[in-house]
Structure 1
Amino acid sequence: MQIVAEVLKSYPGITVSEVRGPCRDATLVRARHEAIYEVRRQTSFSLPQIGRWFGGRDHSSILSAVRKIRKQRQEACE
């Protein structure tokens, strides 16, 4: 997915397959959450569809990632 590849340009050394995988390293999780947020923002994919693409994650995990990044971005603008 092109959106994920664009997000990962900000995270050198992290691959699309790593973002879709199960690893929970802090830097990788941050990149994954950013990618999930951008996919949700830029597409009409449902939460379950995004979750399936990101390694079979539950829709609630996707929603949590979107909310987390949205909150961080709002706080950065204040």
Structure 2
Amino acid sequence: MPPLGFIGWIIIGGLAGWIASKIKGTDAEQGVLLNIIVGVVGGFIGGWLLTLVGFDVAGGGWIFSFVTCLIGAVILLTIVNMVRGRK
């Protein structure tokens, strides 16, 4: 499986950020750019957390990368909402 590359991270990050914003109810506040940023940062968070529990995140492929970004993005938006004082 080839590495994702820059465009792959933007596409997967954007999709993961958008779905995470739908799950957390913040979609109306976020645009495309913020969804991409949330998804990519979520990928780093999710990858770090999954590595801590023993998953091999480097060889996971597109679907695993998407799920990793989605998990991390939901965690990120949960933390942001807690800091802002919302549910």
| Global fold match (TM > 0.5) | no
Higher relative contact order (CA 8 A, sep 6+): 2
Please say which structure displays the higher CA radius of gyration: 2
With normalisation by structure 2, the TM-score equals 0.28
With normalisation by structure 1, the TM-score equals 0.31
